[in-house]
């Protein structure tokens, strides 16, 4: 880890000192080079405390939750619900009833689409999204629109990858029933002003859903301050396991929504004549949950919270400044996504090579990045490109990682230029 710099105060830098040792995946050689992992926006690496928490479930408390009277089940249930409490605190929610475990942000947005939006929308209603959305915040609403006759309205993105608040305000109308936006763009790093968007939407009588998958690892979240109605995040972006996430929703909304799936644990009573539903949040948690995943996600939230967002943000600002300056010195490179308010994503194109070729040659140098459209094809269409190369930063990255990326890009140029 880099020593303290002017942009990384010494006290904050010390909180990240030695952090790389917590991530066992970094301790490997890839194609003859020490691994440089710059793909955290796709899936962040997992620290040992998270791995250990999950192993504890499998090695010691391997039992189902909520249903058993024996000790293993009781311990598993305690760990599972303690994770829910950790995540409630992590996002600033008022009540445990408002925190639903799901498979990830994609399932969370589909839950809102099918359980909140579909029963309420009709022809003439509108769902508003922006031009920077991940596919998981576009396709679920398209399915709802097909089923209900509602219309999907997209607020355009600017050339630098931003979405102007004035453009959002201009498109919100009395027909708008739902505004669903990314807190942070996965392809560009752009941060949207959620609180201001929520106030505009609520003034028009609309509900606000937020895709927080990319925000959770980088900026503090307080759903009460943001004033949104739904907020979703994924474990594997937050240094946790795959296949787990949460949907937070205001209690009144969740209470009024029908179950998304049916089966065990989401019921109170079952008879052939009809069934009744469990209390919140269990009404939305059908079947055996990803118990170890939930425990791992709780451990990941604890891990991030213990480091503190002040230290994380200062570290990432330093890396972003250093990385932006370094990439601008590479001949033929153009940065993609230069909004004034963004987090740790460096997207770019090279004039001499396709993004997939860039990624392949970088992999030969031990540098892992993501290439393609990043499940954000409307962004690429807006910019008139097939895709980008994306270096996304995490708490374990260093200036040396940026240097390795730049060396690799010069290797790309030697092949293609």
Q: What pLDDT, on a 0 to 100 scale, did the predictor assign at position 27?
A: 96
Summarised one tens digit per residue, pLDDT across range 283-330 is: 999 999 999 999 999 999 999 999 999 999 999 999 999 999 999 999
> Where are the chain's structural domains?
10-30+308-416, 51-305
Summarised one tens digit per residue, pLDDT across range 376-401 is: 999 999 999 999 999 999 999 999 99
Average pLDDT of the segment spanning 266-280? 92
Average pLDDT of the segment spanning 223-241? 98
For residue 259, is pLDDT > 70? yes
Q: What pLDDT, on a 0 to 100 scale, did the predictor assign at position 79?
A: 97
* Nearest CA-CA partner of 19 in 393, 296, 347, 322: 393
Q: How far apart are CA 324 and CA 177, in angstroms?
A: 39
Average pLDDT of the segment spanning 321-350? 97
Summarised one tens digit per residue, pLDDT across range 93-111 is: 999 999 999 999 999 999 9
Four-point Cα dihedral 48, 244, 374, 417, nearest 10? 20
Q: What pLDDT, on a 0 to 100 scale, did the predictor assign at position 67?
A: 83
Helix ranges, 308-346 (H):
309-328
Under DSSP, the state recorded for 204 is T
- Band of residue 417 on the pLDDT scale cut at 50, 70, 90: confident
Residue 79 belongs to what H/E stretch? helix 71-91
Q: Which two tokens stand for residue 198?
A: 């929520």
Average pLDDT of the segment spanning 322-345? 97
For residue 267, is pLDDT > 60? yes
Summarised one tens digit per residue, pLDDT across range 148-197 is: 999 999 999 999 999 999 999 999 999 999 999 999 999 999 999 999 99
For residue 14, is pLDDT > 80? no
* Nearest CA-CA partner of 207 in 132, 140, 284, 121: 121
- Band of residue 17 on the pLDDT scale cut at 50, 70, 90: confident
C-alpha distances (whole Å) from 333 to each of 187, 200, 320, 358, 393 are: 17, 38, 16, 11, 19
Q: CATH 3.30.460.80: does it fit domain 10-30+308-416?
A: no
Report residue 390: phi and psi, to 5°: -125, 120
- Band of residue 242 on the pLDDT scale cut at 50, 70, 90: very high
Average pLDDT of the segment spanning 232-253? 98
Give the long-range contacts of residues 323-327, CB within 8 A, separation 24 or more. Answer: 323/391, 323/393, 323/402, 323/405, 326/402, 326/403, 326/405, 326/406, 327/405, 327/406, 327/409
Higher per-residue pLDDT: 243 or 14? 243
Share of the chain above pLDDT 90, in %: 94
Share of the chain above pLDDT 70, in %: 96
For residue 218, is pLDDT > 80? yes
Q: Under DSSP, is residue 333 helix (H, G, I), strand (E, B) or coil?
A: strand
For residue 1, is pLDDT > 50? no
- Band of residue 68 on the pLDDT scale cut at 50, 70, 90: confident
Q: What pLDDT, on a 0 to 100 scale, did the predictor assign at position 91?
A: 98
For residue 9, is pLDDT > 50? no
Q: What pLDDT, on a 0 to 100 scale, did the predictor assign at position 39?
A: 98
Q: Which CATH number fits domain 51-305: 3.40.50.300, 1.10.357.10, 3.30.450.20, 3.40.640.10?
A: 3.40.640.10
Q: What is the pTM of this model?
A: 0.95
Q: What pLDDT, on a 0 to 100 scale, did the predictor assign at position 58?
A: 97
Average pLDDT of the segment spanning 62-75? 93
Catalytic site positions? 375
For residue 8, is pLDDT > 70? no
């Amino acid at each position: 880890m880099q020593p303290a710099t002017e942009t990384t105060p010494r006290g904050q830098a010390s909180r990240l000192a030695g952090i790389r040792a917590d991530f066992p995946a970094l301790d490997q050689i890839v194609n003859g080079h020490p691994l440089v992992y710059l793909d955290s926006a796709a899936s962040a690496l997992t620290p040992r405390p998270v791995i250990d928490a999950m192993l504890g479930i499998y090695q010691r408390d391997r039992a189902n939750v909520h249903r058993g009277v024996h000790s293993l089940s009781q311990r598993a249930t305690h760990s599972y619900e303690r994770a829910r409490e950790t995540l409630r605190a992590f996002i600033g929610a008022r009540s445990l009833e408002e925190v639903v475990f799901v498979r990830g942000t994609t399932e969370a947005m589909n839950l809102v689409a099918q359980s909140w939006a579909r029963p309420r929308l009709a022809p003439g209603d509108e769902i508003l999204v922006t031009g920077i959305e991940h596919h998981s915040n576009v396709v679920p609403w398209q399915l709802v629109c097909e089923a209900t006759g509602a219309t999907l309205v997209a607020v355009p993105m600017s050339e630098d990858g931003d979405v102007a608040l004035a453009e959002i305000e201009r498109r919100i109308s009395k027909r708008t029933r739902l505004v669903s936006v990314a807190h942070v763009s996965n392809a560009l790093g752009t941060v949207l002003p959620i609180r201001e968007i929520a106030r505009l939407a609520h003034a028009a009588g609309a509900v606000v859903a937020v895709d927080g998958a990319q925000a959770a690892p980088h900026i503090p979240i307080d759903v009460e301050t943001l004033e949104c109605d739904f907020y979703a995040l994924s474990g594997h972006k937050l240094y946790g396991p795959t296949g787990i996430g949460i949907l937070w929703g205001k209690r009144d909304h969740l209470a009024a929504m029908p179950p998304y799936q049916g089966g065990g644990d989401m019921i109170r009573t079952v008879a052939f004549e009809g069934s009744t539903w469990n209390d919140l949040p269990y009404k939305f948690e059908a079947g055996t949950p990803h118990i170890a995943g939930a425990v791992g996600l709780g451990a990941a939230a604890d891990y991030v919270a213990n480091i503190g967002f002040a230290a994380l943000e200062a570290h990432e600002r330093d890396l972003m400044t250093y990385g932006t300056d370094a990439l601008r010195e590479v001949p033929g490179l153009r940065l993609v996504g230069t909004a004034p308010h963004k987090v740790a994503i460096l997207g770019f194109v090279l004039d001499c090579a396709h993004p997939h070729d860039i990624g392949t040659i970088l992999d030969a140098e031990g540098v892992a990045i993501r290439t393609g459209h990043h499940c954000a094809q409307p962004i690429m269409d807006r910019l008139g490109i097939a895709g980008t190369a994306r270096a996304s930063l995490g708490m374990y990255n260093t200036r040396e990682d940026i240097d390795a990326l730049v060396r690799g890009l010069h290797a790309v140029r030697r092949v293609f230029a």
